[in-house]
Every structure is written in C-alpha cells, then in structure tokens.
Amino acid sequence: MGIVRQLQHWLGGSGPRIRVSDFVPSDHYLRLFADTFSWAEMVEAVERSMARRFPKESAAGRFPISTRVLLALELLKAELSCSDEQICSRLRTDFALMYACGIKDVQADVHQAHFVLPEVLCRFRSRLDDALMEELLQIQATAALDAGLVSPEHLVVDTYASEQGSQRVTDATTLYKAKKKSSPSSKKSRRNSTKRR
Amino acid sequence: MMRTFGRACRGARKVFLKVVRQTERELLEVGRDVGPLCLSAMLHLSEADRLTQTKREYLHEKLRCAAANYEPIQAQSRRLVNGKKLPHAKIVNAYDTSTTAIVKGKSNCPAQFGKKPGIIAEMATGLIYGLHLPQGNPDDASYMMPLLDKVNIAISKVQKKRKPRIVSVAGDLAFRDACLRNDLHDQGILTVGIPSTIDPVPAIPTPEMIRAVQAQFHLGKIPSATKVKTAYACGYSRPFVESLIETLSCRGGTRIKYKGHTGAMVQLTMAILAHNAATLVRIQQGRLTKRAQKVRRFFRLKPPNPLKNNGPKNQ
C-alpha cells in the first residue's frame, strides 16, 4: 500500500486550521451520538486486546491511524448504513463525522483525497475478535448503568434470525483493489525518493 | 432422475439427482486430499523457525479448521443425496460451518439460512446489555444463562455502593422450560414474564397470583409484592421485541455480511452499540414512548407523573 495514500490529513495540510467542535452544532445527532460512548475505556480495551494478540515486532515505521478514529468509523458505518468506501469518503468532508471520530482540528488540503482508506478500516476490522466485542458492549452497558440512565432489574430475552447476506464488495476484494491501486502511487513515491537522492 | 426436496407448503423444489451426485463426487474427490495436505503442512509449520509464535498459532488454527471441515461435509453430502433427514446442526456453508438453517416460528415461507443471535435488553427503553451468538442453531432456552451472565458482569463493574440486581426476566414460550425456571428462581429472579401457555400474562396480578409467585421462592429470597407487580407489568411484549429487532435491522444487524462467526459477531455488536448509543441519546433528550416513560416510572428512573392518578398502581 502506498505511503502517500495513507497519510492522515491532520498531520499535514497547508490550509487554515479549523476547530471541528466549533463547527458542529451542539444539538447535532452525530455529536450527541458520539458523546454517549466512553471512548477512553473502549479505545484502551481495543489497544490492550490488539497488543496482546498482535504484538509489534518493531517500533520502526510511521505512527498508525488512531484506534479511536477506526473504532468510531466502524460504529458510524453501522449507524449510517454505509459501506467502507462511503464512510471513509464522508469522513473527508463531513465535520460531524470528524467530531464523532475524535478529530479536533483539521488543516484542509484540497489535494488529499482520503483521511482514512477503506482498506485500513478493513484490516482493523479483521483484527477484532469475539471477546473484545463482548468487552465493548459491557463497557457501554456499565457506563449507562453508572450514569443511572437505565436499570437492569427487569429484562427481556429473545432470539431472532440473522440471515447470511451476500457481500458484493468483500474484505478480500477491498484488499485486492488496494494492492492494485497502491502500485502506481508506490511507484511514484519510489521515483520521488530516487530523484531526491 | 428428479427428486423433490422440501415441504410442499414452503414450495418444494425439484432437483436433478444425477447432476447433484456427479458434482458431489467430483467435489469430494478434490476435497479428499485436504486432510493429509493439512497434516503435512502442520508438520512443516512446527519446523518453521522464522515465524513468530503468534503467527504459528494463527496458521495452526486455520489448518486445523480446514482439516476438520471435510469429514462432516462429506457425511452430510451423502445423507442429502440419499434423501435422509438431516440432523439439527446442519452445514449449509462450507466456509462457515456455524451458519445453519433457521426454521423458527415460520409455517409458510422459505427457511432462513444464517445465525440466531440472542439479546438481553432493558424493558423500558430497550438498551441491549448483552449478545449471545452460539455456533449452530441450539434451543432458545440455552441462551438465557449466558445472557444473564453478561448482564451480571456489567453490573459487577458498576462503581456504586449499592449495586443493582436482576429482579425479573421475560421471554417468549421458547423459554418456558421448567429446569430453566427453577435455575432462575434459585438465583432469585422472577419468571412471571415467561408464559407457560399461549394464554396472555395479565398486566395486573391478583393478590392470589402474587402469593403464588412468592411461594415459589425459598426463605430469604422472597420478592416483595411491589416487585412482583412490576414484573407482571413488564411482561413479555412482542411488539416491543419486534421494535428492537427492527432498529437492529436498520443498522445491519439482521443481515450478516462479514465472513465467519467472528465477522458476524463484529457486525452484530457494532449494530447493537450503535442502537444503544441512539437509545441513550433518546433518553437524554426525553424522546421516549408512553410505554417506556411508564415503565421507567416503575423502575424509579423517572419521578411519578403528578397529572395522573397513581393510586391503583401503589396499592
């Protein structure tokens, strides 16, 4: 995957710096939606789980995309019924989505097509597991109980059928496309680096 | 030669048996070598020093799954061609053996293929506390205890001196198992919300009914009359459950697109987390249904409505 395509906008950019929280209305649905999550705990749980299952062999390399952003994108994908490509493309222009992803400042750069690539989100998702999912749900439930918004005294249990749907764009296709897409950009970056030398 | 499969009321389908057998034979021949190849790959894997322990374990697990898949698929394939009845947990997807046929409460429609998740939710607003996604298609009653354990874990993490407790649980007729009822009573949980017949459970119990419920419990764990009344008032409601399923459906919780059991778990959990967040927004804004507001008053999460005569409820 090309390095240029993975660059995060908030690390670079030449335009004016905009504070996202000043832009998104305080009663915007996505702002309220994002504020209900206890992000710090959830991100910590994800990072702990990933560090245990996929330990980093080397400290070299660029900083990864923040877990907070990827986790929020995955949640927003469910809330807004979007595909990977749609949610990643919306993140580039939608300030409410940026707020929900925890992005505080944006330094716009018109040449930057993506903030987060669909294949990065796809890779992140492939690293999630059952135990982690249960933990995230438990964190949310405990936070709601702690806030006194709900009561666990009287509960209802039920099952429902969840059909196996066909996925037109599979994770494998996204990753395959990414390899094909990245080849020209990686060639370009390689060419640039050789020129500089 | 043609053979008819399926029940007539669900639209029986005719199949060219010869074509099925021919295809099956070819596929089984291809798959026969998978087992020995996996074993030899495992041997090579144990000798590979360049791979990390995590990577080796991951590949070992994949190979083990691949080697184990052939036998059940072969056995099932032969039974299907001979026209025998399939066992309970039948394989319908070779790449994901946890996907099964779900024939649940349907009489005149095609059987669904997929997974059968179980959810446990709050009675008032529908906040979902836990999700249980078993392999295959087990009995509904087996969902109860794992789901209650999830709620208990969430309660144990609450940072309050006086921790809340599960008082009652409601469910449909599928949960009417006597053993399950006894297990719940042993934990001090009321089961008045689980019907034992098709007759509807009354919303307001008579004093005799309250005494009968209290008599089911051992000494020291007897629930108060108010708790029994609240449990009756919060009895199982199909429209409420359907509304939960519908909101999950809007968030992609009823059509699994990610691959495998873990993929299904990720997709369903994300749908539930999004649903819960939307529910919390509604609670904070006070945008709740009349029913939810009423039940929240029973739970003392909301002050009583002064414009209404609350006399009969407090008797």
Return the pLDDT at B22: 73
**pLDDT tens-place string over residues B199-250:** 888 888 899 988 988 888 865 678 888 889 988 988 888 899 999 999 999 9
Average pLDDT over residues B15-41: 77
Q: Where residue B309 falls among pLDDT bands split at 50, 70, 90?
A: low
Q: Which of A37, A158, A167, A174 to mutate to test the interface with B (most CBs of B within 10 A)?
A: A158
For B193-212, the pLDDT digits (tens) are 999 888 888 888 899 988 98
Pick the range with the lowest mean pLDDT from A105-109, A168-172, B105-109, B290-294: B105-109
pLDDT digits (tens, 9 = 90+) for B252-268: 888 888 888 899 999 99
Q: How far is A83 from chain B (nearest CA, A)?
A: 11
Contacts of B300 in chain A (CB under 8 A): 151
End-to-end CA distance of chain B: 72
Pairwise CB contact (< 8 Å): B241 & A37: no
At B97-156, the pLDDT tens digits run: 666 666 555 555 565 677 889 999 999 999 999 999 988 778 889 999 999 999 999 999
Nearest CA in chain B to A156: B170
Q: Cβ of B251 and A79 within 8 Å?
A: yes
- In the prediction, which pLDDT does B1 show? 46
What confidence tens digit (pLDDT) does each residue in A130-182 have? Answer: 999 999 999 999 999 999 899 999 999 999 888 877 656 666 677 777 766 66
Domain residue spans of chain B: 2-87, 118-314
Give the minimum alpha-carbon distance from A172 to chain B in angstroms, rounded to a whole number. Answer: 10
Q: What is the pLDDT of residue B106?
A: 55
Query: Is B295 in Cβ contact with A154 (below 8 Å)?
Result: yes
Residue type, A158: D
What pLDDT is attached to residue B255?
86
CB contact under 8 A, A161 and B251: no
Interface mutation vs chain A, best among B273, B282, B288, B302, most A CBs within 10 Å: B273
Question: Does B158 have pLDDT greater than 70?
Answer: yes
